[in-house]
A = this chain, B = another copy of it.
């Protein structure tokens, strides 16, 4: 899997310009290139400046770029909005960044089949904006919907807060147009909702982190917009009480909430301070934010009443009902701003998205607390309780030196991931492996499984041209080719 790549020469640049037009190639402009050197991973150790950026407008242009890259042995890293959290869109080996930013058209809205087809560079939230008048929506969107691109969502199989009821990205991807690493353009799936024609390459592409193909078109399954929704903010003494109730809600009431989000005391207090907001009972040990939606107000009312009563019976300190937009926004704003708030508190941190079977979250939280104490750092806990997906975020205390932090973090992450594995979990529920977690992959996957994945990669990409240096542990870290 190690390849000696060639640099992007002025001749290559001219060829790229012929494919996408002169103004769609960035080259020799350090300031512009720098913008494509990183994603949202805070640690700039994972950043790497590309030698050139190309901005194609069609699958045909992407295919021509890939054929050129194979011929010249130059790595290509596909890029959406750059909002990823694992280094997936970073050109770890230099070479070309292929940005889909110009491919942002809505190609077809088909309300009769409840499907939409878009280009991969569209901002995810725009899909829902145009769908509103049809009474339909795309339910697979992640928390970053206002900045991310759908193509990146597909590449990472992005998750989000509504997975418990609606699943994540992959449930809604019914069709893809993909440019293979070797330059062929293929169609997978379509507007049908069942398909068992050969192997499921469609869902092999979803979550492949830009290493098996570049998406040019995406066909998404839509759902009717719920007519009503209500949020409950439920306060508990501690996280054990909060988490114990999660499966009980579903089995006892028969209701699958849209979201069950979890926030610990540290997260709530830090975020309220950051937002200058006050939530009731900020001193509660843990909060659940439970959303229910449905086809009528009456249905939603009976649902939230059943859940609220159950929570109180089972020892919740208080249940607040947010049944209008303003109040709902107030509580969700706290949840959404936790990461931001901690960035202000201390920008040096490691955004994590470990996932365990949800009943094991209390066990995991106890281990996380011990780890934070052992290493003298902060680890606020928040995330998607209904999915067992925890954003345990190690944060450097403001008074700790960066050298100390750099020494601690790799050990801490390894211990955190080992704990996650011990409880039947894995190291990433929605952010992906990318470059950030590749050295930890073998903690959770058998060597035989990693070997199979590597062979699949080689099957699709014999020259290892597409997004090298990601996912697989032994791939070397960034090797500068821009001499």
- A: residues with CB less than 8 A from B are 110-115, 134-136, 156-157, 159, 163-164, 167-168, 170-171, 180, 184, 186-188, 190-201, 203-204, 206-208, 212, 223-227, 247, 250-256, 294-296, 298-299, 302-303, 306, 355-360, 384, 387-389, 424-433, 441, 444-446, 448-450, 452-453, 455-457, 459-460, 471
Q: How distant is the Cα of A356 from the Cα of B164 in the complex, in angstroms?
A: 28
- Could you tell me if B190 and A471 are in contact, using CB atoms closer than 8 angstroms? no
Interface pairs A-B: 9 shortest CB-CB:
A112-B359, A194-B429, A191-B357, A254-B295, A224-B254, A113-B357, A455-B459, A184-B448, A197-B426
Q: Which residues of B contact A450 (CB under 8 A)?
A: 198
In the complex, residue of chain B having the shortest beta-carbon distance to the beta carbon of A212:
B199
Q: How distant is the Cα of A181 from the Cα of B198 in the complex, in angstroms?
A: 18
| Residue from the list B199, B388, B449 in contact with A453, Cβ < 8 A | B199
- Could you tell me if B114 and A247 are in contact, using CB atoms closer than 8 angstroms? yes
- Could you tell me if B135 and A251 are in contact, using CB atoms closer than 8 angstroms? yes
In the complex, residue of chain B having the shortest beta-carbon distance to the beta carbon of A227:
B254
Q: How distant is the Cα of A188 from the Cα of B247 in the complex, in angstroms?
A: 24
Q: Which residues of B contact A424 (CB under 8 A)?
A: 190-192
Q: How distant is the Cα of A196 from the Cα of B355 in the complex, in angstroms?
A: 10
Q: Which residues of B contact A432 (CB under 8 A)?
A: 196
Q: How distant is the Cα of A156 from the Cα of B425 in the complex, in angstroms?
A: 27
Q: Which residues of B contact A356 (CB under 8 A)?
A: 192
Q: Which residues of B contact A389 (CB under 8 A)?
A: 193-194
Evaluate whether A444 and B197 lie within 8 angstroms (CB atoms) in the complex, with A113-B247, A252-B135 already known.
yes
A-B contact pairs, 22 of them (CB 8 A): A113-B357, A113-B360, A115-B357, A186-B449, A186-B452, A188-B449, A190-B426, A192-B355, A194-B387, A194-B388, A196-B431, A197-B433, A198-B433, A199-B204, A199-B207, A199-B208, A201-B449, A204-B204, A223-B256, A253-B295, A294-B299, A295-B306
Q: How distant is the Cα of A358 from the Cα of B174 in the complex, in angstroms?
A: 13
Q: How distant is the Cα of A112 from the Cα of B295 in the complex, in angstroms?
A: 28
- Could you tell me if A255 and B295 are in contact, using CB atoms closer than 8 angstroms? yes
Q: How distant is the Cα of A184 from the Cα of B449 in the complex, in angstroms?
A: 10
Which residue among A113, A168, A212 has the maximum number of chain B CB atoms within 10 Å of its CB?
A113
Q: Which residues of B contact A206 (CB under 8 A)?
A: 200
Q: Which residues of B contact A457 (CB under 8 A)?
A: 199
- Could you tell me if B455 and A247 are in contact, using CB atoms closer than 8 angstroms? no
Which residue among A187, A254, A456 has the maximum number of chain B CB atoms within 10 Å of its CB?
A254
| Residue from the list B114, B168, B456 in contact with A199, Cβ < 8 A | B456
- Could you tell me if A441 and B254 are in contact, using CB atoms closer than 8 angstroms? no
- Could you tell me if B200 and A114 are in contact, using CB atoms closer than 8 angstroms? no
Evaluate whether A195 and B429 lie within 8 angstroms (CB atoms) in the complex, with A254-B295, A449-B201 already known.
yes
Q: How distant is the Cα of A58 from the Cα of B134 in the complex, in angstroms?
A: 52
Q: How distant is the Cα of A190 from the Cα of B424 in the complex, in angstroms?
A: 7
- Could you tell me if B444 and A452 are in contact, using CB atoms closer than 8 angstroms? no
In the complex, residue of chain B having the shortest beta-carbon distance to the beta carbon of A203:
B203
Q: Which residues of B contact A193 (CB under 8 A)?
A: 163-164, 355, 358, 387-389
- Could you tell me if B302 and A433 are in contact, using CB atoms closer than 8 angstroms? no
Known: A111-B247, A225-B254, A452-B459. 16 other contacts (CB 8 A): A115-B357, A134-B251, A171-B171, A180-B448, A180-B452, A192-B356, A192-B388, A193-B355, A194-B384, A196-B207, A197-B433, A199-B208, A199-B212, A224-B255, A295-B302, A296-B302
Q: Which residues of B contact A191 (CB under 8 A)?
A: 357, 424
Q: How distant is the Cα of A113 from the Cα of B159 in the complex, in angstroms?
A: 19
In the complex, residue of chain B having the shortest beta-carbon distance to the beta carbon of A115:
B357
- Could you tell me if A190 and B357 are in contact, using CB atoms closer than 8 angstroms? yes
Q: How distant is the Cα of A389 from the Cα of B195 in the complex, in angstroms?
A: 9
- Could you tell me if A198 and B302 are in contact, using CB atoms closer than 8 angstroms? no
| Residue from the list B110, B358, B359, B449 in contact with A357, Cβ < 8 A | B110
| Residue from the list B112, B255, B459 in contact with A459, Cβ < 8 A | B459
- Could you tell me if B134 and A355 are in contact, using CB atoms closer than 8 angstroms? no
Q: How distant is the Cα of A135 from the Cα of B253 in the complex, in angstroms?
A: 10
Q: How distant is the Cα of A201 from the Cα of B452 in the complex, in angstroms?
A: 9
Q: Which residues of B contact A251 (CB under 8 A)?
A: 111, 114, 134-136, 224
Q: Which residues of B contact A163 (CB under 8 A)?
A: 193-194
Which residue among A198, A431, A432 has the maximum number of chain B CB atoms within 10 Å of its CB?
A198
